[in-house]
Chains A and B, each alone.
Chain A
């Protein structure tokens, strides 16, 4: 921000006939720095109300203006900023950094008008405390890192809040604000233990929020992490409640600090809106939300930017835009390797799935193995994916060994994704009896599967139908309905063509599929256009391609035009190995 400041200029010589002159100079101050009040080298000559408010929560502002710069012939004369102006500019630069006030429209600006606006703010202590806390949590405040206390807190906050690592909370709490942040970081650790559900989250928040000096800023972070944790563990309904709590904190924060609104819109603070839309199968909403965040990703730190890439790649993968997904996930992987991001294994896993869907099994295997190696504790899920990759490559024995390994890794866990692989193997080996046994063993469990798990249930149903097991028609129709309800619109096309002999017979199911695919197709075009990402080929089962093919199917009342694309729909492609080989 450029300010017009008053400077008192001393005459070239001390002479009773000459008086000091007041001139105006345009000055762009360096970024204001925040430090702990007790570490401040020297108190400023004069303090404003903002200084007092910050001091009460343990913080102080440092701003060192350069000496006034004057043109010749006055540049060698003694000059000093007027102290009142200096005090005002220091407070204003701090207020701008904290987003307490908006940047003056005119530049350069006279400090007086902006200072009046600052003085007119109601309840400055509360606003300033929330603003400082948010600034620290968002990582956007310039801190005086020459002091070890401050230098320790910056990576501690970033590591816990954004990298989602276990907190390393400095012993020196330094101030009331940092004390509160320490309590928050401990709560984040508990969320990641993992927490049971939304009720546990609410209890945890209730326990810690009573002592927080900045409940809105801390709530924004707490509920963001709760949303993340709940969605990762598949508790999407609870995650939606957590997200609503987070957005309520964001709204309340913006009501008090309206200048914060653009920051909250750009710092991925609303990112879970897109993530949960993805988990709800609303890919168009997810992509449109991510598109609005895309333009500001360059301003993010590497951790947040790279994870954003992965979340976008997740959506693009599921709608078949594999080249775009691959570009993003490769950039994510490379960047996360550089910064040693603890979530690198997730990106490697996503890369493996993209390669698998692209038919590049060797590359998929390599990525899944790298993901497994990067995990602190190997998960059975990655092991199952390695089985799928080998199955699709025709290495059925190797696939079986990976499925066995998955069972050994988590022997007590019911894993429908593993059952899916087993069913495909039975189909390949024409083990009808074993397939019937699997059906009987998992029937009750499959009927109870909800959310994302309706997908492996549908794959199992198709395997039974393809093996000519009895009474599969109702199973298939139910599978299609559950897939459509859970927004697996592309995947639903595979069992649809088995359950219904012609497209006209499936019309009531086809209509919502087509409507959904249209929205996805338009959103994908918008997003890839904004992001400058490559589009998938016509041979891929993308929404656009499927819409064209389905129109042809409906025109001919025949599923044949869909057959080539249908065989590529993952994970049903596992079953196609039995029909066609690898």
Chain B
């Protein structure tokens, strides 16, 4: 039996799902990057794996807080905007005269796009639709449904003996958000800072959505498990580097955005990306709305 691990990440401001006043033209995305467990483990010993365990060489002011010690695409995008180096990227050739952060970001993204051992698939949609048709104003629920459908979609193609462990990207929430209210963590004293989101609710929703989808296809969903990386891999040896897994998932979400977000700092040709094997569907297509 082959055990696969799919790690997820989101892109775009999912907090806006809960806000009526945010511009509805914005887009949201979610992605899963999947590979057999042994591939994840091997990656941490490979050159690219080691690079992805380090942050990109950005100026210091872009590497504060949690971004200081991990690989994260978002600060690089901010830097590209600030330096006026946004635009179309080729999958084959690096940007002209690219400074090291830009060059490395390109290398990392094109590595994942062309990496035959990893499967990247995602979904994207306009905020208005996500809010109205797929989430009910609750980001955790909307993400859960999306992760559930993505994972279910992949499962049949991994082989009849495959087990798929799915770790949706953990997210923080504004204190007054709907997920937080639903989760009712009233004991939290801090009211102004972002706090842990309703991950349990997200995971539960993802599991439900995936099982329902597999049931409609009459496919055995018992080999599909959702949870945090720590929970899913706690008894499996040798250990997998959770930070590396998150960095790869972050790259996967960035690829989806680069293909389908017109305002993204860097853009790849969606068709060329699909030829490389990166799949990105609209939410409506994924859910069958």
Contacts from A to B (Cβ < 8 Å): 9, 11-21, 23-24, 70-76
Contact = CB atoms under 8 A, between A and B. Distances in A.
B80 interface: no
A2 to B, nearest CB: 14
Contacts of A70: 217
B83 to A, nearest CB: 33
Contacts of A17: 35, 116-119, 158
A95 to B, nearest CB: 27
Contact of B119 (A15, A23, A24, A75): A15
A15 B116 contact: yes
A16 B157 CA distance: 11
A13 B279 contact: yes
B278 interface: yes
Most chain B beta-carbon neighbours within 10 Å: one of A13, A17, A71: A17
B153 interface: yes
Contacts of B117: 17
Interface in B216-252: 216-219
Given A17-B35, A23-B156, A73-B149, 18 more contacts: A9-B157, A13-B121, A13-B274, A13-B277, A16-B277, A18-B119, A18-B157, A18-B158, A19-B157, A19-B159, A21-B156, A23-B219, A71-B288, A72-B286, A73-B286, A74-B156, A74-B217, A75-B288
Contacts of B218: 23-24
Nearest to B150: A73
Interface string B276-289: 01110100011111
A12 to B, nearest CB: 4
Contacts of A12: 121, 153-154, 157, 279, 281
A73 to B, nearest CB: 4
Given A73-B150, A73-B287, A23 B157 contact: no
B17 interface: no
A74 B218 CA distance: 12
A21 B161 CA distance: 12
B53 interface: no
A14 B121 CA distance: 12
Contact of A23 (B149, B217, B281): B217
A76 B287 contact: no
B178 interface: no
Contacts of B121: 12-13
A353 B84 CA distance: 104
Question: Which 10 residue pairs of A and B lie closest in terms of their CB atoms, listed nearest first?
Answer: A72-B288, A21-B156, A71-B216, A13-B279, A15-B277, A18-B157, A11-B157, A73-B153, A12-B279, A73-B149
Nearest to A14: B277
Most chain A beta-carbon neighbours within 10 Å: one of B121, B157, B219: B157
A76 B285 contact: yes
Nearest to A20: B157
A19 B152 CA distance: 15
Interface string B74-114: 00000000000000000000000000000000000000000
A17 B33 CA distance: 12
Contacts of B154: 12, 18
A72 B287 contact: yes
B213 interface: yes
12 contacts: A12-B121, A12-B154, A12-B157, A13-B278, A14-B277, A19-B157, A23-B218, A23-B219, A24-B218, A72-B287, A72-B288, A76-B281
A13 B217 CA distance: 19
A71 B213 contact: yes
A100 to B, nearest CB: 30
Contacts of A74: 153, 156, 217
B64 to A, nearest CB: 37
Contacts of B156: 9, 21, 23, 74
A23 B219 CA distance: 8
A23 B277 CA distance: 22
Nearest to A16: B116
Nearest to A76: B285
Nearest to B118: A17
A147 to B, nearest CB: 39
Nearest to A71: B216
Contacts of B281: 12, 73, 76
Contacts of B116: 15-17
Nearest to B153: A73
Nearest to A13: B279
A74 B214 CA distance: 10
Contacts of B287: 72-73
Nearest to B158: A18
A22 to B, nearest CB: 8
A16 B114 CA distance: 11
Nearest to A70: B217
Contacts of B289: 72
Contacts of A16: 116, 277
Given A13-B274, A23-B218, A73 B157 contact: no
Nearest to A21: B156
A11 B213 CA distance: 16
Contacts of A14: 275, 277
Interface string B125-145: 000000000000000000000
Contacts of B153: 12, 73-74
A64 to B, nearest CB: 24
A499 to B, nearest CB: 81
A154 to B, nearest CB: 41
A73 B277 contact: no
Contacts of A71: 213, 216-217, 288
B26 to A, nearest CB: 23
Contact of B288 (A11, A20, A73): A73
B131 to A, nearest CB: 20
A308 to B, nearest CB: 46
A76 B283 CA distance: 12
A559 to B, nearest CB: 80
Contacts of B158: 17-19
A21 B213 contact: no
A72 B284 CA distance: 10
Nearest to A11: B157
A20 B216 CA distance: 18
B144 to A, nearest CB: 14
A444 B235 CA distance: 114
A169 to B, nearest CB: 52
Contacts of A19: 157-159
Contacts of A13: 119, 121, 274, 277-279
Most chain B beta-carbon neighbours within 10 Å: one of A20, A23, A76: A76
A286 B149 CA distance: 66
Contacts of B216: 71-72
A23 B121 CA distance: 21
Contacts of B217: 23, 70-71, 74
A103 to B, nearest CB: 23
A165 to B, nearest CB: 53
Most chain B beta-carbon neighbours within 10 Å: one of A15, A23, A75: A15
Contacts of B278: 13
A73 B279 contact: no
